[in-house]
Amino acid sequence: MQTSPAAAPPSTRTAREPELRAQGQAQGREASTIPPIIQVIDLQKTYQTARGTLNLFQHLNLQVEAGEMVAIVGQSGAGKSTLLHILGALDAPSAGKVYCASIDVASLSPREAAAFRNREIGYVWQFHYLLPEFTALENVAMPLLARGKSKTGVPSDGSRSLGWKREALQVAANWLREVGLEDRSDHRPGELSGGEQQRVALARALVNNPRLLLADEPTGDLDETTAGRVFDLIERLHASHGLTSILVTHNLDLAARCTRALRLESGRLAPLAYTPQTEPTAAPI
Ligand SMILES: Nc1ncnc2c1ncn2[C@@H]1O[C@H](COP(=O)(O)OP(=O)(O)OP(=O)(O)O)[C@@H](O)[C@H]1O
Ligand SMILES: [Mg+2]
């Protein structure tokens, strides 16, 4: 496992500071002395297809500070989901560096990557992917049960096993209350509305107290009113749990509510100039 330049010895960090400041300013951020929680440097992703090589990113750079809520918009096929997958160690870069929570994600073994995802990242997708045969409560508790430990680190073996499972379910119940669904805890996903399913998915994403929330079109499958309510909830959870959030969305009104909105176009990210009711344009860097 390797750590980020920001966590490297002072001489290395000093050498990189002008480059990192320039990246941040190019993306509409103020310069900061605190290490960014996400740092992408010259990212490239290449797919070999029957039609030849597909270069998805053109030396893409991104810095995200702790506490930011960043929206990413872009046309279908621009690479938004691929970028989130790479940030969250679900996919590997073809070239370049990706540091997430100061970890070089490409340097992780599959086992380390799984532990990293469970510890640091909460994912929410357009479709909730809840397990249909389990209740809302069990679905939310699943990451804790999969981790095999209680929140306090009690291992999942021996005579204490009942205790940690009960504790996991209690933590899950607290999260269901936080997303306003304590009275739906014994419902299976098929017995929940679309908005409720997505709120359960949010609770499940955050039950391990990750630092990062990566959401890929989390409101894309919902009607406008429900989408607004789910986004309200994401905003509230982002603030109350000190999250850093990256949200992919096609909804420009929701993107405008984030602390920063970027457009992925031609393999690069640029600040989004937003005017309600009009088509977005990439602002000059
Ligand atoms: N495993 C793969 N092999 C080859 N091409 C791929 C692979 N995965 C994705 N692609 C291509 O990469 C491009 C980006 O895909 P991605 O899913 O990241 O787009 P997106 O911006 O999320 O689009 P959407 O808004 O439709 O979800 C697409 O053109 C897709 O066909
Ligand atoms: Mg996508």
202 phi/psi in degrees, rounded to 5? -65, -45
Residues 177, 248: Cα–Cα separation, whole Å: 26
Give domain status of residue 147, yes or no. Answer: yes
Its pTM stands at 0.84
Ligand 1: residue whose CA is nearest its atom 30 = 77
pLDDT of residue 86: 96
**Residue 80 Cα, ligand 2 centroid: separation in angstroms?**
6
**Residue 152 Cα, ligand 1 centroid: separation in angstroms?**
39
**Residue 56 Cα, ligand 1 centroid: separation in angstroms?**
8
**Ligand nearest the Cα atom of residue 85:** 1
Residues 213, 241: Cα–Cα separation, whole Å: 11
For residue 29, which of 212, 243, 244, 236 has the smallest C-alpha distance? 244
Residue 195's SS3 state is helix
pLDDT of residue 28: 52
If one residue of 72, 82, 91 were mutated to test the ligand 1 pocket, choosing by the most ligand atoms within 8 A of its CB, it would be 82
Q: How far is CA 198 from the centre of its chain?
A: 15
The residue behind tokens 């990706």 is 98
The residue behind tokens 């340097």 is 107
Give domain status of residue 152, yes or no. Answer: yes
- What residues pair up with 99 in beta bridges, in sequence order? 39, 104
**Ligand nearest the Cα atom of residue 86:** 1
- What residues pair up with 128 in beta bridges, in sequence order? none
Give domain status of residue 124, yes or no. Answer: yes
CATH of the domain at 42: 3.40.50.300
Ligand 1: residue whose CA is nearest its atom 27 = 76
Give domain status of residue 211, yes or no. Answer: yes
CB atoms within 10 A of CB 154: 15
What is the Cβ-side half-sphere exposure of residue 281, based on CA atoms within 13 angstroms? Answer: 4
pLDDT of residue 14: 31
**Residue 6 Cα, ligand 1 centroid: separation in angstroms?**
31
Give domain status of residue 27, yes or no. Answer: no
Identify the residue with better confidence: 9 or 59.
Answer: 59
92 phi/psi in degrees, rounded to 5? -110, 145
Give domain status of residue 174, yes or no. Answer: yes
Identify the residue with better confidence: 65 or 283.
Answer: 65
Give domain status of residue 215, yes or no. Answer: yes
Provide the pLDDT confidence category of residue 4 given band limits of 50, 70 and 90: low
As a whole number, mean pLDDT of residues 114-125 equals 92
**Ligand nearest the Cα atom of residue 75:** 1
Give domain status of residue 54, yes or no. Answer: yes
- What residues pair up with 40 in beta bridges, in sequence order? 62, 98
How do residues 190-247 score in pLDDT, each as one tens digit? 999 999 999 999 999 999 999 999 999 999 989 999 999 999 999 999 999 999 999 9
**Residue 194 Cα, ligand 2 centroid: separation in angstroms?**
19
Ligand 1 pocket (Cβ < 6 Å) reads 47, 49, 54, 56, 74, 76-82
Provide the pLDDT confidence category of residue 17 given band limits of 50, 70 and 90: very low
Residues 6+ apart with CB under 8 A from 279: none
Domain that holds residue 99: 38-282
Ligand 1: residue whose CA is nearest its atom 11 = 77
Provide the pLDDT confidence category of residue 127 given band limits of 50, 70 and 90: confident
Ligand 1: residue whose CA is nearest its atom 25 = 76
**Residue 128 Cα, ligand 1 centroid: separation in angstroms?**
20
Residues 105, 91: Cα–Cα separation, whole Å: 9
**Structural domains counted in the chain:** 1
Residues 269, 84: Cα–Cα separation, whole Å: 13
